[in-house]
Amino acid sequence: MENGEMKNRQMIQSSDRIPLSWKQAGSTLFLQGTLDRDSLLPLWQQKDSLLAQIENIDVSGLEHVDSTGMALFVRIKGDWQQSGKALIFSGIGERLKILIALYGLQSIFADNSPEKGRSPEEM
């Protein structure tokens, strides 16, 4: 495969990804779309105000999470634990479970519900 073909394929793949969005319902923050190095910055910049009243982050709506997205989750979880707050990630799908296992982060996410979270409409 030539470099031009590879670049074209990467552009198509990244343009097919659903943009990151979020919605708060009660004490749950629902994430949807793609959480990667290209979409992470707006969430990172707003994390303190967004997460002030959050006890649960529902990730069942995420289509894709890369290592930078995983690093964000680890940082947020660590910050909450350090401040004595409990934070749960719900709706962890098979792909994310694999990423958690590959990075050896099972202990960090051990207190999380294995079931899919509820959609904002079900709240």
The yes-or-no verdict on residue 6 having pLDDT over 90 is: no
Q: What are the phi and psi torsion angles at 63 (to 5°)? A: -85, -30
For residue range 62-73, what is the model confidence (pLDDT) as tens digits? 999 999 999 999
For residue range 88-103, what is the model confidence (pLDDT) as tens digits? 999 999 999 999 999 9
Per-domain residue ranges of the chain: 21-105
- pLDDT at residue number 76: 93
Tell me the HSE value of 97 on the side-chain side, using a 13 A CA sphere.
Answer: 12
Give Cα 30 to chain centroid, integer Å.
9
Q: With a threshold of 0.75, does the pTM exceed it?
A: yes
Q: How far apart are CA 9 and CA 104, in angstroms?
A: 31
- pLDDT at residue number 63: 94
Averaged pLDDT, 30-54: 94
- Classify domain 21-105 by CATH number: 3.30.750.24
Return mean pLDDT, the chain: 82
- Report residue 3's pLDDT band, with 50, 70 and 90 as the boundaries: very low
